[in-house]
Each structure stands twice: as structure tokens, then as C-alpha cells.
Amino acid sequence: MNLHRKSLLLCLVLLASGCDVFTTTDAEGTRGRGAKAFDPYSSSASGAISLSLLYFNGCAILPNGEPVSRGSLNLPGYPDKCQRINDSLPLKDPAPPEAKMPIVAGSLYFLREFTAMDAVATRLSLPVDPAFFNDRRTQATWIRKQSRFKSLDWSGMTIGRDEWRSQGEAMFQRETFFENAAWMISDDDTFKLEVLDADGTVRASETYGRKDFLAENSVTGRTRASWTLYGLSRPEYPGDPVMHPSPDFGTPITHTGVKVSFANSTNPFKSFRMPQLTGEGVIRLTWSLMPEEPFVFPVTFVNEPDRQATCYKLDAAGLATEEQVPCGFGLEQTVRFQKPNNGKYFMPGETVDFQISLHDGDGNGLHPRDSLPSYNQYLASESNGIAYFNEWMITTFRDASSSEAGYKVVGPLDQLKVVNGTYSLPYFAYPETSEPKFIVEPGLLRVIAGYVDAQQPTRYSVKLPSDAKPGTYALLLKGHRSFMGERLNRLDSFMFQVGQEKPTSYPGRVGNCQICHNGVNSLVNLHHGMSVDHVESCKTCHFDETVGHISDMVHRLHMGSRKYAQNKADCTLCHLTRESTLRPSIMACNGCHVNAHGTEYFDLKFESLQNTPNAYGNCANACHVTTPPSRHVIPAQ
């Protein structure tokens, strides 16, 4: 069967499961098709607004981690005090919450995400009984018998992956997953969403099925039950029963949590209209697997005429003026490059100066022309939704890539590649690390007095190396916005030329993602919010198997997905070249073949790679370059 027929068959299967809701003729990466197209991901330019509902330890929270106050509402079971994620680990004593969750009255919304977590996090006391290090029974008992989710069907639960990840030089975190519980693999449960007024009268309602969400089971990593230890040195050998605290971390922290997360609606036609109310109200979500324990989200209804003017009108050049207007929904990003010295392209050694500007979907500026909001304004929900790096949402709420905002410059595009076990990049990258240059540097928050109150700049510069190779370079800009119930991630690529006018393109080693990822399932609506056109730019951050475990995650996600109907051993759908399949790492193979080679490469997992590929980072160096796996279908060339 040729690729065209396989692709057609795959699309038919996915259509039957609700994969492609829209019939569109424009490119996958296109946003904002106008008011005539029902495109909920275009926010106010469309028929409905996406709604994210987040919950932590019994309290509704905003995407910035701040717990929501119930105000004057009578909500039995909703705490007077909530644990604040942004107080760092370990979790501190609960305190009265102050945040409000505003919602636009009279507007159409649809449920795009429901995420709830229950967790305990404490700092250990030394010395620790060595038996604790591998005591999964105690953690499993809390998960099944004491957590908020104890009423779920935990039958069939097993101990799953045991992952070690670097926290820095010679410092690690260890996460043990509990998997395969009956509720995790259910597929016919439902979520009843109700909007109530202050008197408790239901004013709007809609019911969603688990199959209405693209990320609906634990294979995506969003839903998880796990036990994590932070601040460890490496074990001395596989199964080492003794915990070795890292001297650079202090006393280790233990975090046990259950997180359920259903996200990225594949049926946003299931919209509902917020009632025309003013003041306090409630969104109640009842999960059919926990019918007696609904989740309640106190909200504040804001009518359109009462919305404050906190955004900025743009001038003809697309820059913010001093005239302020009410903000719309959505997120658009623009970059203005200063002209190169020769007026055509930048030369090696030249400095690339640029200015970023963030807008809503209605074309209003989210910030003044020359400055961005401070970190404290972000935490206080006074940033027009602009979100910054929040390490506590990552470590405590396990909400990876939910808020970091930053940029990275890489090029030329045709040189981008996964380096497989070495940090010697064959292309230019700024910064050279896997992380972007954060708009707000998280490491400075506690060090520099007044940093959290500083207005961040909109102008930046990157100096090209004197030996920069000619071709097309990309400035990757990642932004996040949370506004009036809507939570969006976005990653845009802005191109410029170096050394020549002729453009160059990506290597073309992987692709075809748009076969499944189109319409509401498009990559712009998932995780980082990046268009499929730039999927090969993933390499600029996930450039090595020890960084982000991208191959492990991508392979495991698709192999375990109930929505991916392709032959699991056929690599040709996504891998466009034979070369791209013949440099596998043990991490990539472990995505499907758990613990391939057992503990043979245990030591390599904890060693710093010294610019030399090894068998951990590149299996092809050792064995598989001449004998590719015989059970896999790989491209002929």
C-alpha cells in the first residue's frame, strides 16, 4: 500500500473518531479566518471562546497558580483557605485566597481544558531510612486511599516508568509513575458543565465526553499519578536502596500527586452561552466517574460595557499608542527587525536588533510600546493575560511548558539536526542551551532586589558569530496568555537572512504531521502552539536525547494513543528519510520498548556528555547503523 493510500485510510479512520471537525481549505497553520468561519481557536474573531478550568488541592486556580476566592458565595466544601502554589515547595499552610476568575457574560464559550490535581509535598528529614527510597507502597496507598481522587476505580494499577531527569550539574529528580488504573483507560465517561448564578440556579449547561478531548488519557503525560523526589545525587547502581541527597540542593523534597487532565477539545461546536449576569457565580463540573464530588469554580461575570480599557490601540506600523481600549481574546505575536547594514541581509558578526509586540486577536496591543508587564503584575492578573516562566506551576502542578515566555535564534535552517549524544551543535543557536532566552529570567527572581517589579523591555539583540553560515535563520518567539477564562500557548517563527538573499529551508527529515494534526487537532492548538510548517524547529530546544526526552515522549505518545491508527512499526509516515531512522537512541527506543537493554547503559544516563556521541545518545554508533531493526518499516532512501 503506497503512502497516499495509507494516508487516505488513516484520515478516514480519524474522521470517524471525530479527529477532523472542520472542513477548511486554508493552510494548517492559518489563524483567524474571520467571523464567517466557526473557528473557536481564533477567540473573539470566531464563534466561541475556549475555556480552561484548573483545580489544585480543593481550590480553583488561575493559570498563574493563584487560588480563586469564593467571595461571598455559599459553597459547601469549597475551602476558606487554599494552598498557594507560588509559595514554592514544599507546600506551605493554606491561607485565604484573593484571586478572582472573570468571565465575559453573554459570550459563547466551550470547554477546552479541565485539569485537577491533588498533591502533598514535604521536605524530608535526614537521615532517612534507606527503605523509604524504594517504598512505593506508602505513596500508592495515599493515592488510592487518601487523595481527593480516592473514589476513582484504581483496580489494575501497576508501577510504571521510573524516570530520572537532570536538575543541574550532578543533581537529579526521580519520578515513579503509577499506571493502568481502570479510570485511566476509561473512554466512555462524561463531564457535565453547569453555570450557576449566585443563588445556585443553573443558567446554562453542556455535557462533554472524554472522546471530545485530544489529550484524554495518561499516555500524553498530562494525566498522571506519580511520586517525585527532588534534589538527589545519582544512584550508585541499579536498584540502589540508599538515597543520596545532592549537596547543592539541601534536604530532598518529596512530591506525591494525582493529576487528571483532559485538554484540547476536538468538538468545540459544543459551546454554551454564559448567562447575562453581573457579579458572582459558579461553574460546576461533574465527572461521571466522581458523580458525588463535583468541582466548583467561583467566577465573576463581567458585562461587555463594564470591561476596563487596559489594552492599547495600534498605529499604522503595528506599535502601541497611548490610547487604551478594552482587551479582546486571543494572542498574536509580531517581531520588527532593524534593517541590516547592507539593507538586504545580515552579515556574520553583525548584531540582530529586534522588537517584539504582543497583541490580542482584535489587533490591540497587550502592553506599551517599549515595555512588558512585571512579574508581579503577572501574578496579580494585571498583565492583560501575558504569562511568564513559573517554575512552581511546573514542579508543583506538573504543568510543563505552560507559562515560559522567551525567544531563541537559530540557523541556518538547513543545518538543523538532532545531535544525538553531543552538545556540539552544527548550527548557530542563541542561547546555546536547550532553554530559550526567557523574557523574565527565573533565576534572578530571588537574587536581584526589585526584579519582580521591573518592567521588562520589548527590545533585544543577538550578535551573530563571525563564522555564521549563510542562509535563512529563525527567531522563535514563544508566548502565553490567560485572559477571562481562556488559556493559550503560541510559538511563532520569524525569518531573516544571513550572508545571502537566497532563502534556505528545513532539512525535510520528518513531517506529514498535518495528516492528523489539522483543524482543531492542529499543532498550533497543542502544547507549544507551533505550526506544523515549523515542526523541524523542535530540534532547536530538544536537540539531544538527554534534553526533554522528546523522542521518548513523541514515540510513546503516538504508540500509546487510541487515536493513532497507523501501523506502530511503520516509520515511513513521519520519517521522510532513511537517515532520520538510522540514528536511534536508547531513549527513543524506550518510548515503545521499555527498558531496552535492561540496565546495561545505566551509568551513561547519569554522565555528562563531553561532546562525543555514545551508545546512550546514539545506538547507531554501536550496533544499529548496519543492522537496522528488521521489524520496522523504514524509508528506502
The pLDDT-based confidence of 360 (bands split at 50, 70, 90) is: very high
Give the residues across from 206 on adjacent strands: 193
Lowest mean pLDDT among 171-180, 291-300, 440-449, 578-587: 578-587
Which amino acid belongs to residue 568?
Answer: K
Separation of alpha carbons 139 and 150, rounded Å: 13
Residue-by-residue DSSP string for 520-536: GGSGGGSTT-B-GGGGG
Separation of alpha carbons 53 and 261, rounded Å: 10
Rg, the chain, Cα only? 25
Separation of alpha carbons 163 and 185, rounded Å: 21
The pLDDT-based confidence of 520 (bands split at 50, 70, 90) is: confident
Please report the pLDDT score of residue 482 as a whole number: 94
412: preceding bond cis by omega (within 30 degrees)? yes
Q: What burial letters (b/e) apply to 482-518, b meaning 16+ CB within 10 Å?
A: bbbbbbbbbbbbbebbbbeeeebebbebbbbbbbbbb
Please report the pLDDT score of residue 618 as a whole number: 57
Lowest mean pLDDT among 7-21, 116-130, 356-370: 7-21
Q: Per the structure block, which three cell numbers stand in for 392?
A: 512552581
Task: Check pLDDT > 50 for residue 15.
Answer: no
Separation of alpha carbons 592 and 569, rounded Å: 10
- Domain 308-505, what fold? Immunoglobulin-like (2.60.40)
Please report the pLDDT score of residue 373 as a whole number: 96
> Taking Cα atoms as reference points, which of 629, 450, 416, 436 lies closest to residue 543?
416
Beta carbons of 355 and 368 less than 8 angstroms apart: no
The pLDDT-based confidence of 611 (bands split at 50, 70, 90) is: very low
The 8 Å CB, 24+ separation contacts for 162-168 are 163/549, 164/234, 164/605, 164/606, 165/549, 166/546, 167/230, 167/231, 167/246, 167/249, 168/248
Beta carbons of 295 and 283 less than 8 angstroms apart: no
Beta carbons of 581 and 630 less than 8 angstroms apart: no
Q: What is the dihedral of CA 29, 31, 35, 37, to 10 degrees?
A: 20
- Residues 21-65 have pLDDT tens digits of 333 333 333 333 222 344 555 666 667 889 999 999 999 999 999
Separation of alpha carbons 199 and 196, rounded Å: 8
Task: Check pLDDT > 90 for residue 255.
Answer: yes
Beta carbons of 609 and 546 less than 8 angstroms apart: yes
Residue with cell 530571588: 446
Beta carbons of 48 and 109 less than 8 angstroms apart: yes
- Residues 553-567 have pLDDT tens digits of 788 888 888 888 888
Beta carbons of 262 and 191 less than 8 angstroms apart: yes
E strands, 464-504, in order: 471-483, 486-498
Q: Per the structure block, which three cell numbers stand in for 576?
A: 521522510
Beta carbons of 366 and 481 less than 8 angstroms apart: yes
Residue with cell 450557576: 196
Which residues are CB-neighbours of 384 under 8 A, at least 6 positions away?
Answer: 310, 311, 327, 360, 366, 367, 373, 481, 483
Task: Check pLDDT > 50 for residue 1.
Answer: no
Per-domain residue ranges of the chain? 1-6+509-522+534-637, 31-305, 308-505
Please report the pLDDT score of residue 418 as a whole number: 78
Give the residues across from 226 on adjacent strands: 177, 257
Q: Given phi > 0 = left and psi -120 to 50 = alpha, else beta, which region is 65?
A: left
Task: Check pLDDT > 50 for residue 591.
Answer: yes
Q: When comparing pLDDT for 376 and 626, which is higher? A: 376
Lowest mean pLDDT among 217-226, 289-298, 345-354: 217-226
What mean pLDDT, rounded, does the chain reach?
85
Separation of alpha carbons 70 and 280, rounded Å: 9
Residue with cell 468561519: 37
Single pTM value for the model: 0.89
Beta carbons of 485 and 49 less than 8 angstroms apart: yes
Separation of alpha carbons 409 and 407, rounded Å: 7
Q: What is the mean pLDDT of residues 271-290?
A: 96
Please report the pLDDT score of residue 239 as a whole number: 80
Q: Per the structure block, which three cell numbers stand in for 594?
A: 521499555
Q: How many CA within 13 A on the CB side of residue 27? A: 8
40: preceding bond cis by omega (within 30 degrees)? no
Give the residues across from 465 on adjacent strands: none
- Residues 379-405 have pLDDT tens digits of 999 999 999 999 899 889 988 766 778
Separation of alpha carbons 419 and 30, rounded Å: 31
Provide the percentage of residues in the chain whose pLDDT is more than 70.
86
